[in-house]
Chains A and B, each alone.
Chain A
Amino acid sequence: MVEDEHDIQAFLQQALSEAGYTVDLAPDGKAAENLAKNNKYDILIVDLGLPDQDGITLITRLRQLGVVAPVLILSARRSVDDRVRGLEQGGDDYLTKPFALAELLARLRNLLKRNAPQGSELTRLRVQDLELDLLRREATRSGQTLQLTPQEFVLLEYLCRNAGRVVTRSMILDKVWGMRIQPDTNVVDVHIYRLRGKVDGTGQAPLIRTLRGVGYVLQDR
């Protein structure tokens, strides 16, 4: 992790360690280069505004040094630079500050998954007694078919794929509706309430849990 702000370093290191990652910290580009030369990392988190050089320059240099690990770019800038977009197309990802920890973790998982050997594409998802048939676009809970709209199915599928992990509202907007927006109304919540109404029927243990201020979790146990 290459980040110069001390406060951000601290909480990121704590959160990443709690999530099970081993983290090496570099406060600037020079230190990052030295670390990358001597160690092999699965993933890099790079802040764009470093004291000694530009984050993009650092990434380019690291790539020249033979570092192939995917990069998650953290940016406090307002607009997403064209060069960042270029990197994004190369398999890396970016996140603008401030971000939700859940989103950071989700993006890290995605980047790692992208680099991992691809398993055969799943056709069925199963979380507790909830089952999704991805080919027939059908969901059942305890054997009972749920009447879902196509959009609700996509939403539920996304929650199932991230079962047990927190997904934020902006992640849902990005992945389910394909929009990076921040509505100042509770549009996503309404979708979740409706979905919950269908998934968590009366007398059943609730599957979809709301973490206020953070997002939602589909509980996997």
Chain B
Amino acid sequence: MSSKKRQQPGQARARGPSVSDTLISDRQSPPPPLLESHYEFLGDEDISFDRYTSEAFFQREMELMWPRTWQWACREEHVPDVGDTYVYDIGPYSIIVVRSADETIEAFLNSCTHRGTRLLAGEGSGYSPSFTCPFHGWSWKLDGSIRDIPARWDFPHVCHETHDLQRVSCERWGGFVFVNIDIDAKPLLDYLDVLPEHFKHFPLDRRRIKLHVQKILPANWKAAQEAFMEAYHNFETHDSPNGGNTQYDIFGKYVSRFIHNIVNYSPQSLDDYPGDKWRQPPMSEDDQLAFLGAYGLEYGSVPEGETARAIVADTLRGHLGETLGIDFSEVSESLMLDSIEYHLFPNMFFFPGINIPMVYRFRPNGDDVDSSIFDLLIMEPLAEGVDHPEPPDPVQLDVEQSYTEVEGISWLGPVYDEDTGNLALQTQGFKTSRKPGLTLGNYQEARIRRVHLTLDEFLSNADTKA
């Protein structure tokens, strides 16, 4: 008989040092939020495949969730001047974000109030000193109020109250412009939960888009984002020893997080994985220093008494500090190195790290239940006093294209190919399976379950406000 005490579901963890153990033993202390831990057991029932494949479920999401939830549409620097616009499409909905005055950014449904025509055809950034419908020439000022109606005499029944552009809730946080089609949405700050407090330590408004890649993925938007919500897949998908001891946090209905140490390897965390890989023999500190090679940097060996993690962090502090003109000397190893990923319901990811500085967004590809659009932004820290440069246009990749085709994506190209390479197979597997749903780990995959639970609240309660 085992002498182990019986554990409650969700209490078990990988063996070896925890993320907190590592962060505490690092030379530079991390910001306090990174030492917090907030896990809760949310159940262990299977998640039905229908939720990923059913047209009816997809339509319910479109009716009850997407029009009632906050989503970031663009960055403030996409609309720096009065008249700058950004069109954000989500399923059948289209939203115009516009800088209507120096300090004002507003959002409207992209639809003429005369006969409904979409006003701005393109998606992404644009410019309009006013909005003019291409059908009959009705026009509106940037604040959405009616400007001109040709043959005004024929429309005595039209006025501002009824025919100004249809407003959408619009607020800003961290340099992002958020929209919510629900005009009675609760304030964005209430929705963001711990994010404003945590990101005081790593402000996203002082980041610039270095690279924006927009790829079509062959999977439902939820399956696509769930490929990025755990590091459990690292061993098999990325052939990587890191990830077994990743920390997972649930901060509320809308926000979750993982902290996945980079250059922190423990053979114990892979204790019950098949085979001897990375356990017998375990990787040496010198082996782990090879991470620097992946970043295109030179490396030697780890001196006695040092760790690879400390040396890699130091090397990156110097290299990135010089490249970006920023002093990283007092930045913690964790922020320099680790994959720290916050998720915001329903589809947004924010990484505060310096070397892993991504933002993701996953959304349905039009009305296709089986494909999605993945926006990948690499958000480089901006030196003090430097103005935001004009953001680059997205590099667009179709389903069959490889991330390695993207100029400047460097070591991340093959990694994203691996991450997204399972999705077509998973979609096929959903449809051939006799078993009706997918099974989740209690701890490592709890963030995925959190999203489904919150989604259910939207779908079951027409009054849910986000």
Does A associate with B in a complex?
no
